[in-house]
């Protein structure tokens, strides 16, 4: 059986931290296949980390172990947890990072990681990714059963995302993520936006002048450098420029308010 482990963190790639986690995994599970979801989550921003993990998780084979660590509370009493779904196992800190992805798959069971013998021999206070989560992911990939890690738990920290507010003719949400192209990804799901599909809509983003447009299907529907709105590949409304950087053009950043309305 394939032993697939995904990694998500805010560690960046210039330091040896990611390698130390991978080395810890391979030391315990030599036949693991490791995929980096990203190590470029904005530092300490577990909401964005949760969004990225939830975006990628559906594409992984059944049985994948997803290890994630965006962990400002490392070394404090925040718990280390494992969350099991029908599709996957999630390992990381109990700060909401894992729950968005896990809930969309249906959570079966949650455990607190307590067993010292399933951690590295020396556990630092500042790098649980390497000393606790990576070994746990590797042991899970090896088939160690959930109950060996620690007691079952029923309450975990939920990630707090702003809800989209609906009126008859408008939706208000926020910028969930600005991607590396400068595409502005909002928290408005295709389900929220469905009612506006055939209308000319007015989009207000950050401080820019309101934009008038119909929903596009792809970037190339408009001329290069022209703005458009579409349902992105993650299923969320996205404001973009064809072959350009919308976030820079419109001065949009994480958490900014976005409104769309019939015009």
- CA dist., res. 236 & res. 222, Å (int): 19
Number of chain positions touching its own copies (CB under 8 A): 63
| The only residue of 152, 165, 212, 233 in contact with its own copies, by rule CB under 8 A | 233
CB of 123 to its own copies, least distance (A): 10
Nearest to 108 by CA among 69, 139, 137, 146: 146
- CA dist., res. 169 & res. 106, Å (int): 33
Q: Does 212 bind its own copies (CB under 8 A)?
A: no
- E strand spans, 196-244: 201-205, 211-213, 215-216, 227-231, 236-241
Q: Does 151 bind its own copies (CB under 8 A)?
A: no
Look at phi and psi of residue 103 and say left if phi exceeds 0, alpha if psi is from -120 to 50, else beta. alpha
Please, which residues have CB within 8 angstroms of residue 248's CB and are 6 or more apart in sequence?
Answer: 182
CB of 106 to its own copies, least distance (A): 19
Q: Does 218 bind its own copies (CB under 8 A)?
A: yes
Instruction: Answer yes or no: are the C-beta atoms of 21 and 8 closer than 8 Å.
Output: no
Q: Does 56 bind its own copies (CB under 8 A)?
A: yes
Q: Does 215 bind its own copies (CB under 8 A)?
A: no
Report the interface residues with its own copies, using CB under 8 A.
2, 4, 6, 11-20, 22-24, 26-27, 30, 33, 35-41, 43-44, 52-53, 55-56, 59-61, 64, 72-76, 124-127, 130-131, 177, 179-181, 217-221, 224, 230, 232-233, 242-243
């Amino acid at each position: 059986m394939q032993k697939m482990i995904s990694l998500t963190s805010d560690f960046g790639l210039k330091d040896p931290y990611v390698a130390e986690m991978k080395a810890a995994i391979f030391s315990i599970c030599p036949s693991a296949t490791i995929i980096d979801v990203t190590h470029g989550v904005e530092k300490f921003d577990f909401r964005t980390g949760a969004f990225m993990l939830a975006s990628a998780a559906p594409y992984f084979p059944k049985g994948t172990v997803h290890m994630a660590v965006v962990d400002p509370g490392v070394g404090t009493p925040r718990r280390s947890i494992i969350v099991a779904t029908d599709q996957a196992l999630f390992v990381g800190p109990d700060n909401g990072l894992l729950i968005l992805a896990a809930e969309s798959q249906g959570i079966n069971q949650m455990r607190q990681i307590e067993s010292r013998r399933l951690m590295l021999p020396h556990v630092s206070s500042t790098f649980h990714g390497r000393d606790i989560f990576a070994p746990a992911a590797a042991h899970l990939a090896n088939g160690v059963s959930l109950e060996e890690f620690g007691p079952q738990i029923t309450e975990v920290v939920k990630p707090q995302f702003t809800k989209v507010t609906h009126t008859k003719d408008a939706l208000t949400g926020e910028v969930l993520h600005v991607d590396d192209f400068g595409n502005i990804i909002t928290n408005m799901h295709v389900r929220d936006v469905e009612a506006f599909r055939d209308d000319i809509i007015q989009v207000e983003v950050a401080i820019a002048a309101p934009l008038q447009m119909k929903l596009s299907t792809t970037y190339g529907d408009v001329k290069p450098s022209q703005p458009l709105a579409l349902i992105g590949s993650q299923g969320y409304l996205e404001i973009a420029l064809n072959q350009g950087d919308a976030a820079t053009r419109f001065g949009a950043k994480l958490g900014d308010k976005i409104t769309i309305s019939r015009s």
